[in-house]
Amino acid sequence: MKFLTILAVLITAAAAQDCAAKVAAIPACGRTCIDPEITAAGCTGPTDLKCICAKRSAIEPKAAACVVKGCPAADTLKVQPAVADVCACVGA
């Protein structure tokens, strides 16, 4: 039984690291736009990935205007797919 518990913890930790790598792939200017909308949507912060993905439909439209206005075109095109990858990682 202890082995299964340890295995579950290791799998969870590996999944968290994988999701963290996906968060890091979001361009910095995109994170700057997304972060204020995360707390406005009622999530605890940028590490509350399940909440962020559950409330993505409320966060994305507000953050998108900021991204389009404030990010270089190349980064603008990367933000939405990167966020989709994060949400796929957390299963939302």
Distance CA 74, CA 36 (A): 22
Of the candidates 33, 42, 51, 40, which has an alpha carbon nearest to the alpha carbon of residue 87?
51
Distance CA 51, CA 5 (A): 25
Integer CA distances (angstroms), 69 to 13, 44, 62, 73, in order: 36, 26, 12, 9
85 known member of a binding site = no
Binding site feature residues? 48
Task: Specify binding-site residues for heme.
Answer: 48
